[in-house]
């Protein structure tokens, strides 16, 4: 596995990292097997967050590997006290005395950046933890190019985590990646597959790594996904002309109105599992499989999109400013005409899990 330098941190990270959001949906035993196999295959950079329910706890199996593993986690807190509470909880869950990289999580609005930078803000808390030896380096993640650029210009952050894929090209167009390179800020590429909308996976990963980034961190839930991603990057790191042309055509067809499955819209007050609704919608709209979409919807959505009350809380939380209510209405029109309710199981990806186990990701309110 090729290594790259993570900006001014000097850390050597594997070009393929491991995004920890997806292991929420698998068992602790499955997660441990997957994570340890990732290490065996050469992955040394693992990213998680306090907000990812039990993801940190599942990564505790990496605690005994020492410097073989570079671990990053994140806090949604905007003030120093909240960040400190999150950090202490993270260290306990991870079984560590120190986190290699601690990131301010999803700082995507100007006012949020101002809050974390202010006196008593989250950055102050992170710097104090760094002085105490609890944190190695301090970074920031963002889903907004303008805010990311402002954060870079402060000179305060060692790393930047942003979406890097063929659809969200505005990070390059606005000079975010170039500015990060100029300031020697290490870029961590998240959402390389746009939450599953960009495929095939090998081309999507190669595209992200052909940009000015140190590592790309797809979410992986199965050994098959892990092994395929590793094999793809062992074959070559950059897309060829054929892959680039296919990716550009896909980007043109997707536009910017698609769900990346980050789950920040959850929980829905009505209990709608919004990302799964949009997977079904994408099956119809982008893959051209209406019958499969309706069947998947009936099997995988325990609360229908038609239960939406129109409260708009999902849109307030969506970092991509998607018109979630309009998209839910589209799902109702396309997917509910053959009837509801679903069968007894809930299908997520390739796995079937009981309906009772499908829970939205709670959000840190700090």
Q: Quick one: pLDDT at residue 198?
A: 86
Question: Mean pLDDT throughout 267-277?
Answer: 92
Separation in Å, CA 91 to CA 11, 35, 121: 20, 18, 20
pTM for the predicted model, two decimal places:
0.82
pLDDT, tens digit (0-9, with 9 covering 90-100), for 205-244: 999 999 999 999 999 999 999 999 999 999 999 999 999 9
Is pLDDT above 70 for 13?
Answer: yes
| Mean of all residue pLDDT scores within the chain | 89
**Under 8 Å CB-to-CB from 83, ≥6 apart: which residues?**
75, 77, 104, 122, 125, 126, 129, 366
Q: Quick one: pLDDT at residue 211?
A: 96
**Pairing relationship of beta strands 18-19 and 70-75 according to DSSP bridges:** unpaired
What does the alpha-carbon distance between residue 336 and residue 293 come to, in Å, rounded to a whole number?
A: 10
All structural domains of the chain with their residue ranges: 3-250, 274-357
Sort 340 into a burial class: Cβ within 10 Å, 0-12 / 13-18 / 19+: middle
Sort 118 into a burial class: Cβ within 10 Å, 0-12 / 13-18 / 19+: middle
- CB-CB contact of 205 with 235 (8 Å): no
Q: Quick one: pLDDT at residue 242?
A: 95
Question: Mean pLDDT throughout 75-102?
Answer: 98
pLDDT, tens digit (0-9, with 9 covering 90-100), for 136-181: 999 999 999 999 999 999 999 999 999 999 988 889 999 999 999 9
pLDDT, tens digit (0-9, with 9 covering 90-100), for 102-115: 999 999 999 999 99
Tell me 266's DSSP state: P
**Band of pLDDT at residue 337, cut at 50, 70 and 90:** low
Is pLDDT above 50 for 346?
Answer: no
The CATH class, in words, for 3-250 is alpha beta
Q: Quick one: pLDDT at residue 360?
A: 34
């Amino acid at each position: 596995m090729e290594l790259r330098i993570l900006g001014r941190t000097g850390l050597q990270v594997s070009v393929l990292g491991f995004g920890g959001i997806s292991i929420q949906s698998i068992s602790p035993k499955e997660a441990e097997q997957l994570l340890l196999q990732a290490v065996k295959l050469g992955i040394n950079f693992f990213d998680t967050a306090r907000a990812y329910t039990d993801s940190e706890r599942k990564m505790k199996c990496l605690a005994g590997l020492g410097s073989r593993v570079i671990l990053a986690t994140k806090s949604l807190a905007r003030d120093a006290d909240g960040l400190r509470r999150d950090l202490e909880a993270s260290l306990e869950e991870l079984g560590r005395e120190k986190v290699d990289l601690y990131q301010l999580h999803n700082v995507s609005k100007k006012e949020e950046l101002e809050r974390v930078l202010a006196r008593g803000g989250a950055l102050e808390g992170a710097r104090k933890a760094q002085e105490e030896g609890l944190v190695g380096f301090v970074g920031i993640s963002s889903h907004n190019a303008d805010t990311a650029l402002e954060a870079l210009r402060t000179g305060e952050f060692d790393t930047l985590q942003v979406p890097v894929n063929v659809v969200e090209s505005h990070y390059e167009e606005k000079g975010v990646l170039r500015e990060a390179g100029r300031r020697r800020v290490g870029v961590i590429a998240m959402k390389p597959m746009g939450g599953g909308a960009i495929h095939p996976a090998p081309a999507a990963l190669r595209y992200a790594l052909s940009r000015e980034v140190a590592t790309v961190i797809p979410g992986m839930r199965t050994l098959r996904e892990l092994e395929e991603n590793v094999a793809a990057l062992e074959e070559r790191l950059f897309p060829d002309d054929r892959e680039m042309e296919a990716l550009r055509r896909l980007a043109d067809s997707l536009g910017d109105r698609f769900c990346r499955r980050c789950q920040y819209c959850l929980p829905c007050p009505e209990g709608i599992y919004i990302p799964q609704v949009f997977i079904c919608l994408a099956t119809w709209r982008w893959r051209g499989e209406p019958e499969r979409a309706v069947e998947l919807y009936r099997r995988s959505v325990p609360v229908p999109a038609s239960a939406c009350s129109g409260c708009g809380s999902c849109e307030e939380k969506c970092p991509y400013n998607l018109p979630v209510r309009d998209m839910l209405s589209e799902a109702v029109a396309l997917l509910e005409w053959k009837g509801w309710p679903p069968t007894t199981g809930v299908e997520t990806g390739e796995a079937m899990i009981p309906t009772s186990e499908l829970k939205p990701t709670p959000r840190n309110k700090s």
